[in-house]
Structures are given as C-alpha cells and as structure tokens.
A = this chain, B = another copy of it.
Amino acid sequence: MDKEESTHSQADVLIIGAGPSGLMAAYWMARYGINARIIDKRNTKVFLGHADGLRARTLELFDSMGFQHRVLQEGSTSTEANIWVPGPQGKLIRQAFINVARVDESPFLNTCLNQGRIERFILDSIREHSDLDVERGVIAESLEYDEELSNDPNSYPITVKVRVLGEDDSKVKDGCETTGNEVNREDLLPDDWADLAPRRKPQKTQIETIKAKYLIGCDGAHSWTRKQLNIPVEGSNTDHIWGVIDVIPLSDFPDVRRLSIVNSAAGTILVIPRERGLVRFYVPVQTCEAGTTDRFDRSTITPELIRERMQAIFAPFTFDFKESNWWTVYQVGQRIASQSTKGNRIFLAGDAVHTHSPKMGLGMNMSMQDGFNVGWKVALTVAGTLKPEVLETYASERHPLAEMLLELDRHWSPMFNDPKPEMADTKASDMALIAGKFEDFADGWKVFYPASSLVRRAEDDAEFAFARHMIPGERVRPAKLRNQADGGTVWTTRALESDGRFRILVLAGDMRDSMQKQRIEALGQALDGQSGSSISPFGRYLEIAGRFQCPIDVLTVHSSPWKDVEFFDFPEVLRPFDPVKGWAYDKIWCDEACIFDRYCDGTAYEKWGVDRARGALVVVRPDQYIGWVGELEDLEELTQYLDGILVKRSTDKVDLVL
C-alpha cells in the first residue's frame, strides 16, 4: 500500500455507480454545471442485455432530455400482451389478448431496448452539456460521514477513499463475466465502438481521497454505499432465481415476437420482443431462502439448461436458438432499504433502495426516475438556488413509490413463480386485474408525489376547478402544441425541456377576447415587476451560476386560432428579448388542431381540464411534475410557493432591509 500514490480532492457531488440511475443523476450535474464526479467499478459501460423495458413515462423524460427519437428508432414497442395456457388437448392455446397501449395518456408506448443503448444516450447527452465523464475501474473503499458538518451547506461532511485501478491490478469481475458473456464489435452500433476498449489506466493503482458535499449511491442491489451506512434491507425471505436470455429464436411459436406469458404444465416463460430480432425470455429456475446465496451454485445454471427448460415449456411448439448475445442468472427477492437517505447529504437510488422481480419491466424505469428525482434537487441545492430542506422530498416522494412497487411485485410474481397448471384459468383475470393496477402506477403517469414544499396541493386533496387535470404531484399530461412564431409542432414533453429550470406555464386562454387579453396584460405587468408590487418571481431568486440568470422560465400556451394571433400580441415578459439571441420565439405556443400533424389536435386544454376562455397558471418543476396551480391573478400565491423552495438573491434581502 505504501507504494501507492495517494491524492486528495474535493467535489460538490460524488456519484457512485454509473448504471441508469447514476447516469440520470449525472445528467443533472451536467445540465447545472456542477463540480461532480461519477465513478464505477466496471471497466466499461454496459453494451448488451441487462435491463430493457422502458415505460412511456421514462420515454417522456427522455424526450425532455433530447434523445427519445433515438430510442424510438432502435427500440421495439409492445402494444398487446398475450397469455398462453394449455388447451383442451394439452396443446398451448392463446387464451387472452390484452391491449396494453394507452394511447391517450402519452405519446409513447412501452418499448424495449437494452440498457447499453440507454446508457449510450444519457452519456452522449452528458457530453453535450459538460465535461463530466464517468471514471471507470474506480472502487470506493471507505466512507466517512461527519454529521456535525451537515448543517453548513458549504461544508464537505463526506469523505470517500477510492482506489483507481491501474494496469497492475487484476480485472474486476462484473455482471457480464459471471455468466461469460463476450461483447463483439459486430454486435454494437458504431457509436459504442470507442467505449468497447477500456480507457487507458494509470500504470499503478492509485488511492484518492475525495471530500464531497453530497454523495449519491447508485451502486445496485448489493450497494456498497448502503452497507457503509448500515441501512438494513427488509422484505421477503425468499429469493427467486431466474434465467434470463436474449436470443434470436428459432421457433414456430406464433407469438414469439409479441409480449407473452406462456404458462404450460412445465412452467412459465415471459416473452419480450426486443430490437434487432432479439427476444428476451425470463425463465424461472429455482426458489431458495434469502441470504443463502452461498448455498446456491450459479454454475449449475447454463444456457443449455435454460434452453431445455424453454423447450419443455413451449412444447409441442419447437424452440431453439443459435445466436444469444447475452444471458444471466438473476437471484432476486422483494426487498427495500429502510431509508434512502442519511441526513439528506447521502442518498441511495435505484436498486440500492429496492429490488424485485425484473419481469414487470419496471426496475430500470423506477431506478432512472429515482436518479432523475434526486439529481436535480441535489444539483440545484449545490448551485445555491434550492433551499437544502427541499432535499427531504427525495425520500418522501420516492420511498412510498418503492413500497408500492414491491406491493405490486408481490401480486405479480406468483403468476410466474408458481408453475401449477391449475392456476392457468385464473391468470387471464389476474393479469387484467394487475393491468388495472398498472393504470394507476406502473406506466408512471399516475405517480403521485405527496404534498410538500415542492407540491402545493389543494385543500382536502380537492381538484383545482380551473385546471382539473393539472394535479400537483403529477406530471403534466403530454399534448402536442404549435409554436406561434414558426408554426412547428412539438410535444410538451420536449417543450418542457429538462434544462434545470422551474417553468411557469401561462395558459393564456383565448387572446381574441379583449377582457382576457387585459388579464394577460395585467399578468405580464405583474410578472415584469411593473405593477408596483414585489411579487415578480423574476430577478428574485439566486441565479444558477454559469447557466441561467433566473431559475424560472416561462412558457405560454394560448387557445386562440393560430392565425388570429401574432407573436408580438403577447406581453414582452412572456417572450423576452435578449440583445444577442433576439426575441424568445420558443416561448409562445398555440393549442389548435393543425392539418399537417395528426397529433397536434388542439386538445391540450381539454387534457389539462382548463377552460379555453379563461386559462390558468401552473408551475412545473424541473422534472416536469406539477408543483403549483392557480388562476392568472394568483401571482402572489405563486411567488409564495417559489419563496418556499428557492433561495432569494441577497440584493433582494438588501431591498427588504431598506
């Protein structure tokens, strides 16, 4: 050890683990320009296999991050789910055919694409916005947390010693290697080639001591971070062991390219069509007591064994494969960490908090949404703009969802884990029941965040009458709008770009009505600080250094016909002028059907439950969730909401003293 080089450094944020949740958190560091580090013990990113199911809500986030089009181009969508059971003669028959596409809720459908591509897209986005890069082959070795420092926002209460593996170090075992998967260049798209070779390493192993203000542990089910904090995990006493394999199927089973559950006397298989002709199969292998990993010999599970099980289940249909580009053995129980934070300085996200069966296609989604939620909050706090106490909402928003996820998994898993054929008849109705639950939860757009400083709910959970479907704690229901200046159409999921700012949605109503136009002009004056009151949110809060003068953006959506209104009809504060960038042509939008885009159908106001004449006022958080809803005159309440979460400029304080 004493020969090893040792260095010391400081970082505002340290992220351990560069899987989907860690990368989502890192995305925010890139967007806010935070002095952050992200380390991962593996030598390279994931390329093939691993998680693959993407829910519509996740694609909505990807749209706000700017790369959903790449997922749609490469991924495979599933719009129906089929259930196969033994028929009268014992031969498998298609028992049910369930529509799982909820077309009015989201522009996007359930899509499958392997985790390696998702990591590629997030990494590209991080690169576009910053110099932040994942440091690979770096292992955390010790963690100290000095609670006494935690009240000072500028302190570095966290000390992590990391080992930077050098050429002299033995190769780290990763998930792939345990099952002997090899990655060939031919299996990858060109944009992943450069990452296939591990980066140049230091000649010798180095030790680095990193002092950090915040730490986000995204280091998976066996989270090292969680163990250092002695946070217990709770849950089932049983682990289920699955074989998971991605193959090009050679089969006469009719639904091998359709999402299907096949439940024969010999067992159950989940069939998930994937990109590039691949199909993923989940095959239950064994159940054992939790914590008995040592007693279960993973080497007994081979692709050969999985193939044989599948052939038995699919019989009398044929099943075989010659090409498999990834397979693994999952051993997983329903478990949840008792806490997902330590003093709101250290956070756990993703599998480090919750583990469950992989077969709902929810794991990667939940993990990424964890990382997304904690990422913007930590970054905006480090930037000095968000009040540190808002960080409490990470646990209060995400932990209950982790619990719901496990609850759902407990209902769902038995359908796969119990191969008893007599259950077959009930499975279709079970599945319909669970599909019903999915409507409230799994697809991700009825995810409720509870009332908090970030979520100003109406009294007694009543709806706000002027914006019935704009419910604080939910995401903005997507609609396609037409830009007033250039006539182009765009989904709100893209227009509400995840650039880090809160966004005031001015739903301006019908601007042709002179009374309504007066309301908008009055709102414009108030927003601009011209009305003599001190409630304008602009210029009031600390800037995001190097990014935005103001942490609040404003977007206007009117309901008048596109041709009857001009861009310059709107108050200047709604379309501000920049001496270099000119007028903000991307700020005024129209909710009217247009002939050249069938999805731009003029239904935004309806989807949002807002009166087309009178409009409403909405605050959307940086993560597209609704924080506050009011009427066009409620600027005082809006500013109160923002005052509760954002740090005011010191000049304002001086003003107040004067």
- Give chain A's interface residues, CB within 8 Å of chain B: 66, 69-70, 72-73, 76-80, 97, 99, 101, 103, 109, 124, 127-128, 189-191, 248-252, 254, 257-258, 273, 277, 321-323, 483, 485-488, 563, 566-568, 579-583, 585-586, 594-596, 598-599
Contact = CB atoms under 8 A, between A and B. Distances in A.
A127 B190 contact: yes
Contacts of A582: 248-251, 277, 321
Contacts of A249: 582
A109 B251 contact: no
A190 B128 contact: yes
Contacts of A487: 77-80, 258
Nearest to A595: B103
Contacts of A563: 97
A594 B101 CA distance: 11
A651 B197 CA distance: 45
Contacts of A109: 596
A124 B488 CA distance: 27
A486 B101 contact: no
Contacts of A483: 257
Given A72-B69, A249-B582, A258 B486 contact: yes
Given A76-B488, A79-B487, A254-B566, A103 B596 contact: yes
B277 A596 contact: no
Nearest to A70: B69
A339 to B, nearest CB: 38
Contacts of A596: 79, 101, 103, 109
A586 B252 CA distance: 15
Given A190-B128, A585-B277, A254 B69 contact: no
B322 A580 contact: yes
A595 B101 contact: yes
B486 A76 contact: yes
Contacts of A585: 257, 277
Given A124-B190, A257-B567, 4 more contacts: A79-B594, A251-B582, A257-B485, A273-B486
Contacts of A581: 248, 277, 323
A254 B568 contact: yes
A109 B563 CA distance: 20
Contacts of A79: 487-488, 594, 596
Contacts of A323: 580-581
Nearest to A109: B596
A529 B445 CA distance: 54
Contacts of A78: 487
A60 to B, nearest CB: 16
A323 B321 CA distance: 58
Given A252-B568, A568-B254, A488 B598 contact: no
Nearest to A189: B128
Contacts of A250: 579, 582-583
Nearest to A321: B582
Contacts of A103: 595-596
Contacts of A273: 486
A128 B69 CA distance: 19
A291 to B, nearest CB: 40
23 contacts: A69-B70, A76-B486, A76-B488, A78-B487, A79-B487, A103-B596, A127-B190, A128-B189, A128-B190, A248-B582, A249-B582, A251-B582, A254-B567, A254-B568, A257-B483, A257-B485, A257-B486, A258-B486, A273-B486, A277-B581, A321-B582, A322-B580, A598-B598
A633 B2 CA distance: 84
A73 B568 CA distance: 27
A251 B127 CA distance: 33
Nearest to A485: B257
Contacts of A80: 487
A69 B73 contact: yes
Contacts of A251: 582
Give the one of A69, A483, A579 with max B CB within 10 A: A69
Give the one of A486, A567, A579 with max B CB within 10 A: A486
Contacts of A128: 189-190
A423 B567 CA distance: 29
A97 B562 CA distance: 13
B580 A248 contact: yes
A191 B127 CA distance: 10
A580 B247 CA distance: 10
